[in-house]
Structure 1
Amino acid sequence: MGEIVSVDRPARHSTGLEPLRAQFPVLAQAVNGAPLAYLDNAATTQTPLPVQDAMRRFEQHDRANIHRGVHALSQRATDAFEQARNDLKRFVGAGAEHELVFTSGTTEALNLVAHGLSTSGAAPAVIQPGDEIIVSGLEHHANLVPWQQAARRRGATLRILRPDAQGRLHPEDLAQLLTPRTRVFAVTACANATGERPPFEALLALAAEAGAFTVLDAAQSVAHAVPGLSALDCDFMAFSGHKMYGPMGTGVLVGRRGALERLEPLRYGGDMVAWVSATEASFAELPLRLEGGTPNVSGAVGLAAAAAFIDQTGRALIDAHLSALRAHAAAGLAGLPGVTVLSAETGASAIVSFVAEGVHPHDIGTLLDEQGIAVRTGHHCAQPLLDHLGLGPTTRASFALYNTHAEVERLLAGVSHARKLLR
């Protein structure tokens, strides 16, 4: 039986992004004798030369610890760190009422929020016994497990906003879950396992109106569809550098000052204290209060450089390109017999996840790798979602600004070949 069928695929035009591939030297290599088609960007994007250059300049000229030194290098490092903070606040549309805290990534940022709202310190914990926490059913484990622990720690109830059979969230379902005891609502801006883009703006607004703290995981959207923080009913937003062409081990928690001030710190020690005696301590003001220890200063510089790279390239241009790649891949995969595409109709996404009847995703991933095509397979740290959808592990291709429609065609041909071979 033939594997390639005729389908109507979205029109594909040059976007002007092709010359930018030269800014990513890692893409020039061959893997298993074939040109590398790197389609694992939802896990980690590659870093362009401008980001590498910014970090190299810092390491070669300004490397020193920040905030505590009077010498020239320490002052220059401090200036670079705080400039990166200001640049990133502008990047996400933060206003005067917002503050930005550097973290090691989205996971630490979300743990900081869950821990901070459920731990007592100078003030009682925000989450009290009998309170309720609502988490969407689309979440990465990093936006679920911390809330499981917070609920258990405080004797609160964890409720799940279940998606429908197609993996979509609906505001009317959230409205039925919200009660006067709802203290937190956490949701993703884009599901990393399916590519679903939920109506998070409306969901956040409903939760905020009910008096809950609102948490947005923007890790999968910040590289192309950056949520404008000032336009959202959002108390806390988290994202990672390694998913937006920045360095690994970097990330951000940005949110309303009043909400951040309610968080009990996750780390205690250097730079987060105002004064210390042998028996007690007073904490510094935001953002230092939540940034205990020596930060990844060169990482912060690189993260700000990545944001500048995105803006210089053009957010709308990147978003349109990724949406076209995703539509191309989703249509082509759906046209293969026995292949089911998750969230096939969602928009503003750079992720396409699929299952092939009778074929294990790991086998597909291995055969694609033999052709130089890098994808991700498994549960994608979202096992409850995939269990809910009844599909088990999937194969996931995810796109970045340097990917091309020719690489999508290679993906489609590779999946077709894998199905023939494995069946």
Structure 2
Amino acid sequence: MTLDVKALRAQFPILQREIDGKPLVYLDNAATTQKPQVVLDAIIDFYTTTNANVHRGAHFLSDEATRRYEKARDDVAAFINANGREEVIWTAGTTESINLVARGLGQLLKAGEEVVVTEMEHHANLVTWQQACKVSGGTLKVAPIFENGELDVDAFSALLNDKTRLVAFPHVSNALGTVNPIKELTAKAKAVNALVLVDGAQGIAHGGVDVQAIGCDFYAFSGHKLFAPTGIGALWGRKSVLENWPVWLTGGEMIADVTYQDATWGQLPNRLEAGTPNIAGVIGLGAAVNWFSELDLAAVQAHEQALLASAHEQASAIDGMRVIGTAPKKAGVMSFMLGNAHPADVGFILDRQGVAIRTGDNCAQPLMKKFGIPGTARASFSIYNTLEEVDKLYDALRKANMMLA
């Protein structure tokens, strides 16, 4: 159960780059993953040979573009084990997917009904529900986490009642790396007849997403976290829910019939996809899903855990380094503070050594306030990273520690 990381890296042209004369060590994968050549080729080939609008033209190119576009929907549906292709709705990414659901919920939620989220939410899975509750008069409740970044499942359960209309939580925390027990949380929410949305932005690239096994009603993710282009993502929704979900964008493609006085909506998935879509992005996402599906999932997960274990182990040898988020179950994300240094200063010094990380509040300001910090430095690992790159991260951190002392 091993991953041929050297062969894998050779498929990513950008990993051959140097930064200031030093080999690129790309450790910002939670923000966006790099793209393998097969994905780049799929996008170039579409624009070179097939560029046309989908579903509209009465000519060969449009028909071919439509076939490739809709095949990607089939591929994504199979990848997450959807019941049918019509359950896959194309969006610009996780944020738009969650907004699609939240805008609809704002119309359905009644005063006094409740939405439950967690303290570890990305802004996209927090502000959206705040706004839905403001529009409707609903109430937003927040389940706490422990100091190690693990969700307090008992406290989460205590918030659920017959007023709970929807529960939303991340598959994996972007700021902490915590892997939530999403099947267990979903089952608890379903016991009170609540709808469940899983923010899968960080979970999708770690493999094994099966929406039937999870039991949720919505699963949202972005292509660019899964080796695909930016600007494309998907919302999976249970067909019985999506068929009656309020539309949030109107225009072309999603219409069944229009008069000057009124309009009716088409069938799924069209009714929730208005306007000309990101065709090249969809095709790129399909290529990424097929490429990723050919990898040995167990080997992928074992490799990422080895990288994370090495990163955590070496942290104890750095004076003043504090890891933020030490839950027992984590994906390849390590957020940290380096003494009293500002994360931005740490990131700048690492960048000069060719090491790319994320710094800031990770779009999780309430979570940072909970820990009493302005933000973190965050190293996040993917399948093409190596143990040697983890060592280079720590070589750079030792230099940063000395410079910022």
Same fold (TM over 0.5): yes
Corresponding residue for 2:113? 131
> Amino acid of the residue matched to residue 366 of structure 1?
F
Corresponding residue for 1:385? 367
CA shift digits 1:46-76 (9 cap, x unpaired) = 1000001111111111111111222111111
Aligned pairs for 1:32-181 within 5 A: 32-96=20-84, 99-119=87-107, 125=108, 127-181=109-163
Asked whether the 8 Å contact 1:319–1:348 carries over to 2, the reply is no
User: What is the DSSP-based 3-state SS (H/G/I as helix, E as strand, rest coil) of the residue aligned with 2:117?
Assistant: strand
- Per-residue deviation, 1:96: 4.0
Matched, 1:357 2:339: yes
> Which stretches in structure 2 are left out of the alignment for 5+ residues?
none
Q: 1:176 to 1:345 in 2, by over 3 A?
A: closer
- Per-residue deviation, 1:388: 1.3
> Amino acid of the residue matched to residue 311 of structure 1?
S
Corresponding residue for 2:326? 344
Task: Give runs of ≥4 in structure 1 deviating > 6 Å.
Answer: none
CA shift digits 1:161-194 (9 cap, x unpaired) = 1111211113221211011110010000100011
CA distance in 2, matches of 1:97, 1:41: 28
Q: 1:168 to 1:347 in 2, by over 3 A?
A: closer
Asked whether the 8 Å contact 1:225–1:348 carries over to 2, the reply is no
Give RMSD over aligned pairs: 1.4
Asked whether the 8 Å contact 2:86–2:269 carries over to 1, the reply is no
CA shift digits 1:336-358 (9 cap, x unpaired) = 22111122343350111111221
Asked whether the 8 Å contact 1:42–1:220 carries over to 2, the reply is yes
User: What is the DSSP-based 3-state SS (H/G/I as helix, E as strand, rest coil) of the residue aligned with 2:235?
Assistant: strand
- Per-residue deviation, 1:389: 2.3
Corresponding residue to 2:10 among 13, 18, 22? 22
CA shift digits 1:111-130 (9 cap, x unpaired) = 000001212xxxxx2x1111
- Per-residue deviation, 1:420: 1.3
- Per-residue deviation, 1:242: 0.6
> Amino acid of the residue matched to residue 330 of structure 1?
H
> Amino acid of the residue matched to residue 261 of structure 1?
E
User: What is the DSSP-based 3-state SS (H/G/I as helix, E as strand, rest coil) of the residue aligned with 1:226?
Assistant: coil
Asked whether the 8 Å contact 1:167–1:389 carries over to 2, the reply is no
Asked whether the 8 Å contact 1:323–1:347 carries over to 2, the reply is no
Corresponding residue for 1:122? none
Asked whether the 8 Å contact 1:185–1:213 carries over to 2, the reply is yes
CA distance in 2, matches of 1:184, 1:389: 27
Corresponding residue to 1:197 among 179, 185, 196? 179
- Per-residue deviation, 1:210: 0.9
Asked whether the 8 Å contact 1:196–1:343 carries over to 2, the reply is yes
CA distance in 2, matches of 1:192, 1:401: 17
Asked whether the 8 Å contact 1:197–1:349 carries over to 2, the reply is yes
Corresponding residue for 1:294? 276
> Amino acid of the residue matched to residue 78 of structure 1?
T
Asked whether the 8 Å contact 2:114–2:139 carries over to 1, the reply is yes
> Amino acid of the residue matched to residue 135 of structure 2?
R
Aligned pairs for 1:289-328 within 5 A: 289-328=271-310
**Identity over aligned pairs, percent:** 42
> Amino acid of the residue matched to residue 59 of structure 1?
Y
Corresponding residue for 2:402? 420
Alignment: residue pair count:
405
- Per-residue deviation, 1:261: 2.3
